[in-house]
Chains A and B, each alone.
Chain A
Amino acid sequence: MLLKTINTIALPTLLFGVLIAVWSTVAVKIPGFPTPIETWNELLIVLSDPMYDNGAGDQGIALQLFSSLKRVFGGFALAIAVGIPVGLLIGMSKIAQTAFNPYIQILKPVSPLAWLPLALFVFKDVDMTAIFVIFITSIWPIIINTALGVRSVSDDFINVARVLQLTAFERVFQIILPVAVPFIFTGMRLSLGIAWLVIVAAEMLTGGLGIGFWIWDEYNNLNYSHIIIGIILIGVVGYILDTIMGFIADHFDYRKRGRV
Chain B
Amino acid sequence: MSAKPFLNIDHVDKIFPLGKGKEYVALRDVKLEIRENEIVSIIGHSGCGKSTILNLIAGLDTITKGVILLEDREINAPGPERAVVFQNHSLLPWLTVYQNIEMAVKKVRDDLHPKEVRDHVMRYIDLVNLDHAKDKYPAEISGGMKQRVGIARALSIEPKVLLMDEPFGALDSLTRANLQDHLMRIQMQTGNTVIIITHDVDEAVLLSDRVIMMTNGPEATIGEILEVNLPRPRNRLELQHNEEYLRCRGAIVEFLYSKFAKHED
Contact of A165 among B79, B86, B137 (CB under 8 A): B79
Cβ-based interface call for A243 (8 A) = no
Report the bound CA distance from A29 to B86 in whole Å.
72
Which residue, A160, A163, A258, has most C-beta atoms of chain B within 10 A? Answer: A163
- Assess whether B107 is in contact with A258, with CB atoms less than 8 Å apart: no
Task: Please judge, given known A-B contacts A162-B78, A163-B82, A174-B103, whether A257 and B94 are in contact too, CB under 8 Å.
Answer: yes
Contact of B157 among A157, A159, A164, A170 (CB under 8 A): A164
Cβ-based interface call for B108 (8 A) = yes
| Mask of A144-177 contacts with B, CB within 8 angstroms, 1/0 | 0000000000101101101111100010001100
Report the bound CA distance from A257 to B96 in whole Å.
10
Interface residues of B in 57-78 (CB under 8 A from A): 58-60, 77-78
- Assess whether B107 is in contact with A160, with CB atoms less than 8 Å apart: no
Report the bound CA distance from A175 to B100 in whole Å.
12
- Assess whether B140 is in contact with A156, with CB atoms less than 8 Å apart: no
Which residues does chain B contribute within 8 Å of A157, judged by CB atoms? Answer: 90, 92
Interface residues of A in 164-198 (CB under 8 A from B): 164-166, 170, 174-175, 178
- Assess whether A165 is in contact with B107, with CB atoms less than 8 Å apart: yes
Report the bound CA distance from A254 to B139 in whole Å.
10
Task: Please judge, given known A-B contacts A258-B136, A258-B139, A259-B139, whether A163 and B93 are in contact too, CB under 8 Å.
Answer: no
Report the bound CA distance from A259 to B96 in whole Å.
12
Report the bound CA distance from A159 to B165 in whole Å.
13
Closest A residue to B84 using CB positions = A163
Closest A residue to B154 using CB positions = A163
Number of A residues whose C-beta is below 8 Å from B? 19
Which residues does chain A contribute within 8 Å of B82, judged by CB atoms? Answer: 163
Which residues does chain B contribute within 8 Å of A170, judged by CB atoms? Answer: 107
- Assess whether A162 is in contact with B80, with CB atoms less than 8 Å apart: no
- Assess whether B93 is in contact with A255, with CB atoms less than 8 Å apart: yes
Report the bound CA distance from A178 to B93 in whole Å.
9
User: Helix, strand, loop or mixed for chain B's interface?
Assistant: loop
- Assess whether A163 is in contact with B80, with CB atoms less than 8 Å apart: yes
Which residues does chain B contribute within 8 Å of A165, judged by CB atoms? Answer: 78-80, 107-108
Closest B residue to A253 using CB positions = B94
- Assess whether A159 is in contact with B60, with CB atoms less than 8 Å apart: yes
- Assess whether A178 is in contact with B140, with CB atoms less than 8 Å apart: no
Which residues does chain A contribute within 8 Å of B59, judged by CB atoms? Answer: 162
Which residues does chain A contribute within 8 Å of B93, judged by CB atoms? Answer: 254-255
Cβ-based interface call for B192 (8 A) = no
- Assess whether A257 is in contact with B60, with CB atoms less than 8 Å apart: no
Task: Please judge, given known A-B contacts A164-B104, A174-B103, whether A259 and B137 are in contact too, CB under 8 Å.
Answer: yes
Which residues does chain A contribute within 8 Å of B60, judged by CB atoms? Answer: 159, 162-163
- Assess whether B84 is in contact with A254, with CB atoms less than 8 Å apart: no
Report the bound CA distance from A165 to B157 in whole Å.
12
Cβ-based interface call for B88 (8 A) = yes
Cβ-based interface call for B83 (8 A) = yes
- Assess whether B84 is in contact with A159, with CB atoms less than 8 Å apart: yes
Task: Please judge, given known A-B contacts A165-B78, A166-B107, whether A160 and B140 are in contact too, CB under 8 Å.
Answer: no
| Mask of B136-160 contacts with A, CB within 8 angstroms, 1/0 | 1101100000000000000001000
Q: Smallest CB–CB gap between A155 and chain B, Å?
A: 9
Q: Smallest CB–CB gap between B191 and chain A, Å?
A: 21
Task: Please judge, given known A-B contacts A170-B107, A258-B136, A259-B137, whether A156 and B88 are in contact too, CB under 8 Å.
Answer: yes
Interface residues of B in 24-46 (CB under 8 A from A): none
Which residues does chain A contribute within 8 Å of B104, judged by CB atoms? Answer: 164
- Assess whether B92 is in contact with A160, with CB atoms less than 8 Å apart: yes
Report the bound CA distance from A159 to B92 in whole Å.
12
Report the bound CA distance from A166 to B83 in whole Å.
14
Q: Smallest CB–CB gap between A165 and chain B, Å?
A: 6
Q: Smallest CB–CB gap between B39 and chain A, Å?
A: 20
Report the bound CA distance from A157 to B153 in whole Å.
14
Report the bound CA distance from A170 to B106 in whole Å.
12
Which residues does chain B contribute within 8 Å of A159, judged by CB atoms? Answer: 60, 78, 84, 86, 90
Instruction: Pull 19 A–B residue pairs with CB atoms less than 8 Å apart, ordered by A.
Output: A154-B90, A157-B92, A160-B86, A160-B90, A162-B59, A162-B78, A163-B58, A163-B79, A163-B83, A164-B107, A165-B108, A166-B107, A178-B92, A254-B93, A254-B94, A255-B93, A257-B94, A258-B136, A259-B137
Known: A164-B80, A255-B139. 14 other contacts (CB 8 A): A156-B88, A159-B84, A159-B90, A160-B90, A163-B58, A163-B60, A164-B103, A164-B104, A164-B107, A165-B79, A165-B80, A165-B107, A255-B93, A258-B96
